[in-house]
Each structure stands twice: as structure tokens, then as C-alpha cells.
Structure 1
Amino acid sequence: MSANQEAQLDELLALASIYDEEEFRKRESMQKGEIRLCLELPPNFRLLLKGQACIECGISFLPPLVLSFELPTDYPSSSAPGFTLSSKWLSRVQITALCKRLDELWEENRGNVVLFIWIQFLKEETLEFLNIQSPLEIQNIGGQPQCKFGHNPAVETAVEKSEVQELDKRAVQEVDPNTDILTQLLDFNEAQKQKVFDGKIFSCGICISENLGSKSLLFKECQHVYCKACMKEYFQFQIRDGKVQCLTCPETECMSMATPAQVKLLVSQDEFARYDRLLLQWSLNLMADVVYCPRMSCCMAVIIEPDTTMGICPSCQYVFCTLCKRTYHGLSVCKEGAQLHGLRPSNGTTGEEGPHAETLLNLTKVNTQAEEK
């Protein structure tokens, strides 16, 4: 075995012992590999997305930089590793600047293994090197995310060169045209936060047992944690009683709600279907412009127009009075509705005479057809 081969083997074994399989992947029987590097963000780091509207939100994790490498036979004695560097949220100009810096680090350490030095730079110094500060400002330009950076001579030189020559071919910007960049960043952030949560130990606020986060449920608004076994029983009890609006944190006076995704994770398919239906009905009940079709065989939600007492069911086409829930009786004052509101109906008005008789006749025909269905 040559000195270069021995140095390469030692370096790859060292990297495999430092990083887990998600961070470091080596191709079998080849001197190639991939390193995924999540940057260490400072506390209270924020993301600002500029597009048709400005959106700002807190973020703890950003998608990793991916360093793909191939070790030539004369590395490290003569040649540097071949590589590409890719990112979902940095611009190609910024990635080009990082590539140039990796070249400089190789020149400073020529003749020695350099992968670990590259990894440490990318993981610990990228934000400072590119002068990226909170809030991280990202703009969508031509469908590609452009990350704004502060004053840095190295990056500005790369920008100037990119205006007169091609960007570094080793700099790759991963863009999914079918997914919004903000969605990608927030989804990754949530997945990483869940991964960290799953590996910690928590004490259940109900049974006081200690469990891994992977066996626990976190109410995101209040950050209270309970074991999944207790919460499953709690959710099932509330759903059976039809109290779907009560799937809140069990802590006294805490009103943090469980998300539908959390409920679906713990209850059966039939229980979730009942929860989903009752939750929709409860939400509709809170809306002033929504009533239900009075036909027992239908009961479809009906949106009513302002300043009218006529409802038309979109499902069975039944036309009814929204006050008394009977067949619509025209513009005359509804007797039952008048009693509810303390009004007196007009004398001699039956609801079936006057200029609206023809309209009422047509509505009666419609209702007759609806009832026959």
C-alpha cells in the first residue's frame, strides 16, 4: 500500500468515526463520498423571505451544505480532492466563494489530508465568512433563492468575477421547482427539531413516567410534554364524548390545542374521521353566515347571503327560511322568527299572497322535487 493510499484510508476511517451515517457517506470500494454539514445557527436566528409579501419567522436549522468528494490516486502528496459543493438556500455566487476558499485551504495545507479542515471551515465559519446575519434574507429571483450577504471582500470578488465569467462549475444550487423555498426551509427545520426532541428524555405531566421524546407528545404553543399512551386515552375519551374542541393541553387553564396531525398519529382511523367531522361542524357553528339544511336526510352546511332569510342547500337544493327552518315563505315577516326576535308579523300577510306569489310557487316546485329525491 502506497503512502497516499494509507493516508486516504486513515482519513476516511477517522471521518467515519467522528460523523454518523447521515452526515458522512462513503461509497464502497471507491475513494468517493459525501458529507452533509448542518451549520450551527446562533440563538434566536430568524429568516426573512422577500417575494410578493415579506415573511419573517424564527428558525433553528437550515438544510445542510453537501460536499461530494473524490480522492485522486496522488492525493494528498500532489493533487487536491475533486469536489462539488451544493446548497438549497445559498446562491451560486456564495457557493462559488466557498469553493474558492476550499481551494485556498488546500494550498495552505498542500501535501496533507484536508477533508477534515474543509469540514470544520464549512460547518463553523460559513456564516461569518459570508457575513450572514439574522434575519437571513432570501429572495426568490427567477425561481431561484438568492441569499443576501453582508460586506465581505472575498464574496464581493466572486460576485464581480461572476459578472464577467462563468460561475464555478463545482458550485451547485439545489432548486426544486415544484416546492416553494420557504416550505422547504420550514419543513427541514421542523424535521430537525423533531429529531432533537425524539432523542431527549421527558417526564409525563400525567403519569409522571420518564420517556424518550419519540414516545411523547409536545404541545407546541405551551411546550408541555406528555407520554403518547396518556394522550391517546385522553384524545379517545374526548372524541367519544364529541368534545373535539376540548383536545387541549391537560395542564390546568392551559388552552394550547393539539394539532390534527398529532391527533391522527394517536387515534384509530374511525376515531379520527369522527374527530375531523365534528371539528368541522364545530368550526362552522362559530360562523354567523352558516346554517344547516333542515332536512334530516341532508343537514348540509349552507352559507347564507347578507340581509336575507332565504337559504338554498347546495346539496339537495331545498329552499328554506333561515329563521323558522321551514319552506321559504317570501319576504313577509316570519311568524316564528318574529316571536324569537320580539317582532309582530304584518296584518293580513300569509306569506303566500301578493307580488311574490309566483316566486313562491316556483320555490315550492323546487322543494317538492328536492323532497322526492
Structure 2
Amino acid sequence: MAGLDTEDERKEELETLQSIYPELDLDPAIPFAARIELLVAPSTPLPVTFAPEQDVQRLAYLPSLRLDIVLPAEYPAEAPPSVDISTTPSWLPATAIDSLRGEAKALWEEYGGGQMLFAYVSYLQEAADTAYGLAELTLPSSLKLGLLAYSARMKRELFDKETFDCEVCIEPKKGSACYRMQRCNHVFCIACLQDYYTNCIKEGDVDNVKCMSTECGGPKKKVRLISPKELLQIPLPRETVERYAKIKRKKKMEADPAIVYCPRSWCQGAMRTAKYPKITDVSQMDDSDSEADEPVEASQPQPSTGPEKRRIGVAGMDRLAVCEDCKLAFCQICLASWHGDFVRCEPRDSSQLTEDDQASLNYIMRNCSPCPTCAVPCQKSYGCNHMTCFQCKTHFCYLCAAWLSPDHPYGHFNDPKNKGCFQRLMDLAEGDMAQGDVQFGGRRGAEQIADFWEAEAMRIQMELNERDS
């Protein structure tokens, strides 16, 4: 009867444990034997060094811990359970495995020969949060690809099963329809991310391709743009991501006075430079490529009056530039084809503009209001005259180009002292070109007045000529 009672006690404990852990598998071939695999997800990703390359990777998930249990006939009164612990592949050190096995006997003794399987499995689960006491781990490089793939797969599978409230549309979505931002872990539904980022890139507003959470960014936080590699993972179409990468690169190069462009009118490609390598594969452009994405402080004075004057002191091969598009070798100073180290050349006069360049400059001067901070020309298509610069986010008045306080931008239009702008917030509401006779202030207003008096002088001269004739 005692043996029958022991069997019933063992059977009852295993069945109870299975009701708590449905993943517990009872072995039909071996009486009173079971196995269970426990998820290993350290609360802090475990640093793993792969030798001999000494490549360190932080893994959020490690291959599950397999626990094999056999309850002997003497269990629980006279003998502890027989346990075996293993992982596939074998990443857990032998010393850690021995320590976990020893804990089973220690718990059996602590429970005074009572049932202790639930306590033991709970202990293993809790210990997994600290990676079983491991602060770091060194493994052979042959396990690297497998472990990285497992960690990524488990992260995705568990994420897909959860439910999240998108921070944009505020609707509950399954993880399979969402994306977690890599740097800050904010979660948005894929549809919202695709719509927002696609529109930003389509309109050229690449400085807003960042996390949409209100907790990211701000006046005291450094804005981090999303890398092209992450945009592909959301996913965005490859051609859209390539446009994003090209616009970012173009903005950086245009803001850099050291960059020279090909003198061939049909080419106009930029010079080769290691600072801004030509884009070849956006799928390889990771976070490191966007770490330096900060607005250019164009209002800060430059140490020289122009790139040509700064380059006069460049000597020898430092003057040589090669176009990244047509491969022309040319001189950075005179922009002529490369003439060798020992030929003296003078910088091209920066005032010499082509007919198209001059026409473009004239249009900008007449039809755009400059930002008071970075001087980027802005043209309004519709809306009120409170403007925000695309480049440096400065608030300014479109009529007179005056700086506006971000906290009270509309006070400018309500102050009678500002005679040129008082109660004119909605002037040009239909766009700049719809009401071209509106009086401006500032530099643009001065251009208007100059054009008016120039036209008046020409009119008077024509009248005098007609009178004399």
C-alpha cells in the first residue's frame, strides 16, 4: 500500500505541475518522467563575447533551458528527484549547470522530503532573469549566427503575440501589425509609420524622419533620425529609403563649404570625399550613419569669406578633386581640369554666375523671405504669416522676416508698434504668388522698393525721351 501511495503522490504532483505549466511534457515511455523547456530572457541583455574575434553582442534571448525530471520510487520522502539540465546549443557553462542541479537537492532538503517540483521550476524561471548569475559569457564564434538568429526570432515571435496601443492612431493592434523603434522602444502600428515617413520623404522633410513619440526629441534632447536600414525593416519601399538617404547626404554636402562640384555644366557632380561616401546599398546604412544628423548652424560666422578664399592656401595634391559622377580630375581652386602640382592658379571669381544661376538668384530674391537665423529662402504656398523654418525650426514673420518668440509667435501681429505687420496675420493666405502686390518689410521689402523706383526711373526716362523726340 505504501508503494501505491507513493505512485499516486508522484502522479498527482506531475499532473498538478502540468496544469500550471501546460508546456510540461510527460514521457509515456518512462514512468514518472517529464521534461519542460524554460524561456531564457534576461532582464538586461547578456553581453556575449565570441572568440577568437572578440566580437561582443548583447543577446536579449538565449536558447531555452531544458529540464528533464525523473521521480524515483523513494521520492519524495526518502530521495530527491533526478534532474538533468541542458541547452541546445550548449551555451550554459558546466559550472552553472552543476549549480542548478545542486539546487534541486537543496530545495528537497529544505522542504523536509516534501513535494518541491513547483518551487524548483519557479526558481529556474526566476534565475533566468539574471541569466543564471552570469554577468558575461564567452562562446566560440561557430555559435554566433545561430544565437543571433534565435534571439531575433524569439523577440519577434513574443512581440507578435502582444497587443499594443499605437501612439499615433491610439488603436489597439497586435504586435504583428506594429513596429518597435530600435533606439527608444516606442511602439507604433506599421500603417501609421509608413504613412508618416513616406510623406516626409516625398516632401523632402527628412529632418522629421524620427520617432513620433512626444517623449523623444525636444529642445534639450538631441534629435536622432531613423537610419535607412531601420526604415527598410518597418518596412518602407527601397526606392523611398534611397531617396531619403540621398536627400540627407545632399543636405550635408550643400551645408559643407569644403565640398566642390564638378565644373562641367552637364554634370555638376560632387567631388569624391570619404566624409560623405557615395550611397551604394541603403540596407547597410545603420544607426552610425545617422548619429551626426544635426541641423546646420548656418548663422554662426565662418572663419573665411568663402570656400574659394579658404582654399588659396591649399597646396600640391590637396588641390586635386575628382568628380564622383563623371570622374573628371579638376583643381579645387580654379575649377580647371587638373594641371599638376606646380602650376599656379587663381580662384574663380565667385561673382561669375551662369545665366541660369543668375535667373534663379533673381527669382529667390524677389519671391522668397529669408529665415532670420540661417538665411534659407522660404516661399509660402498658403496659410498665415507665422512661419517655421524647415532647416533650423526658427519661428519668423513672412512679411518682414523678423524673429518670433516660439512661446508667443502671434504677439508680433497684434502689436501696433509693428506697423508693417499689425493685423496682417492672414495676408497672402492663398499663397505668395496669388497676391503679388502685397507690401513686405525687411530685406524683401527693400528689394520691392528698389524695384519700384527702378521701374519709375525707367518710366520717367522713357517719357523724357519721347518728349525730346
User: 1:63 corresponds to which letter in structure 2?
Assistant: L
1:232-255 deviations in Å (ceiling 9; x for gaps)? 111111222344443123467643
Q: Which residue of 2 aligns with 1:302?
A: 272
The structural deviation recorded for 1:313 is 5.0
Q: Which residue of 1 aligns with 2:98?
A: 96
- Check conservation: 1:203, 1:209, Cα contact below 8 A: yes
Q: How many residues align?
A: 293
- Structure 2 gap ranges (5+): 276-310, 353-469
| 1:236 aligned residue (169, 179, 198) | 198
Whole-angstrom distance in 2 between the partners of 1:248 and 1:68 = 44
| 2:339 aligned residue (329, 339, 346) | 329
**1:179 equivalent in alignment to 2:179:** no
Q: What is the correspondence of 1:172-211 to structure 2 with a 5 Å cutoff? A: 177-179=142-144, 188=151, 192=155, 195=158, 199-205=162-168, 207-211=169-173
User: 2:66 corresponds to which letter in structure 1?
Assistant: L
1:85-137 deviations in Å (ceiling 9; x for gaps)? 4497754223322222223334666976553232122223578998x5xxx64
User: 2:194 corresponds to which letter in structure 1?
Assistant: K
Q: Which residue of 2 aligns with 1:67?
A: 66
Whole-angstrom distance in 1 between the partners of 2:274 and 2:164 = 51
- Check conservation: 1:198, 1:215, Cα contact below 8 A: no
Q: Which residue of 1 aligns with 2:235?
A: 266
Larger mean CA deviation between 286-295 and 217-226 belongs to 286-295
The structural deviation recorded for 1:19 is 3.4
Q: Which residue of 1 aligns with 2:82?
A: 81
The structural deviation recorded for 1:302 is 0.9
The structural deviation recorded for 1:303 is 2.1
Q: Which residue of 2 aligns with 1:19?
A: 21
Whole-angstrom distance in 2 between the partners of 1:68 and 1:117 = 14
Distance 1:64 1:3, change over 3 A: farther
- Check conservation: 2:259, 2:270, Cα contact below 8 A: no
Identify the structure with bigger relative contact order (alpha carbons < 8 Å, sequence gap 6+).
1
- Check conservation: 1:25, 1:35, Cα contact below 8 A: no
Whole-angstrom distance in 2 between the partners of 1:302 and 1:115 = 67
Whole-angstrom distance in 1 between the partners of 2:224 and 2:244 = 17
- Check conservation: 1:40, 1:123, Cα contact below 8 A: no
Q: Which residue of 2 aligns with 1:151?
A: none
Q: Give the secondary structure class of the aligned counterpart of 2:36.
A: strand
Whole-angstrom distance in 1 between the partners of 2:137 and 2:131 = 20
Q: Give the secondary structure class of the aligned counterpart of 1:271.
A: helix
TM-score (norm 1): 0.55
Identity in percent: 19
The structural deviation recorded for 1:258 is 2.8
Distance 1:273 1:329, change over 3 A: same
TM-score (norm 2): 0.46
- Check conservation: 1:75, 1:81, Cα contact below 8 A: no
Larger Rg belongs to:
2
Q: What is the correspondence of 1:243-262 to structure 2 with a 5 Å cutoff? A: 243-250=205-212, 254=218, 255-262=223-230
- Check conservation: 1:49, 1:137, Cα contact below 8 A: no
The structural deviation recorded for 1:27 is 6.6
Distance 1:7 1:230, change over 3 A: same
The structural deviation recorded for 1:6 is 5.8
Q: Give the secondary structure class of the aligned counterpart of 1:266.
A: coil
- Check conservation: 1:62, 1:188, Cα contact below 8 A: yes
Whole-angstrom distance in 2 between the partners of 1:129 and 1:233 = 40
User: 2:209 corresponds to which letter in structure 1?
Assistant: L
Whole-angstrom distance in 2 between the partners of 1:16 and 1:232 = 44
Distance 1:79 1:104, change over 3 A: closer
Q: Which residue of 2 aligns with 1:275?
A: 244
Whole-angstrom distance in 1 between the partners of 2:248 and 2:350 = 32
1:239-280 deviations in Å (ceiling 9; x for gaps)? 223444431234676434334344222322433343345445
- Check conservation: 1:311, 1:322, Cα contact below 8 A: yes
Whole-angstrom distance in 2 between the partners of 1:38 and 1:304 = 43
1:7-31 deviations in Å (ceiling 9; x for gaps)? 665545444443365xx56678664
Q: What is the correspondence of 1:123-202 to structure 2 with a 5 Å cutoff? A: 123-124=125-126, 132=133, 137-138=135-136, 140=138, 144=139, 177-179=142-144, 188=151, 192=155, 195=158, 199-202=162-165
Whole-angstrom distance in 1 between the partners of 2:188 and 2:163 = 13
- Check conservation: 1:4, 1:73, Cα contact below 8 A: no
Whole-angstrom distance in 2 between the partners of 1:326 and 1:230 = 50
- Check conservation: 2:200, 2:208, Cα contact below 8 A: yes
Q: Give the secondary structure class of the aligned counterpart of 2:62.
A: coil
Whole-angstrom distance in 2 between the partners of 1:320 and 1:28 = 81
User: 1:99 corresponds to which letter in structure 2?
Assistant: R
The structural deviation recorded for 1:69 is 0.7
Q: Give the secondary structure class of the aligned counterpart of 2:136.
A: strand
- Structure 1 gap ranges (5+): 145-174, 342-373
Whole-angstrom distance in 1 between the partners of 2:7 and 2:257 = 76
Whole-angstrom distance in 1 between the partners of 2:67 and 2:179 = 37
Whole-angstrom distance in 1 between the partners of 2:14 and 2:190 = 41
Whole-angstrom distance in 2 between the partners of 1:194 and 1:283 = 39
Whole-angstrom distance in 1 between the partners of 2:92 and 2:162 = 29
Whole-angstrom distance in 2 between the partners of 1:230 and 1:129 = 36
Q: Give the secondary structure class of the aligned counterpart of 2:142.
A: coil
- Check conservation: 1:292, 1:302, Cα contact below 8 A: no
- Check conservation: 2:104, 2:120, Cα contact below 8 A: yes
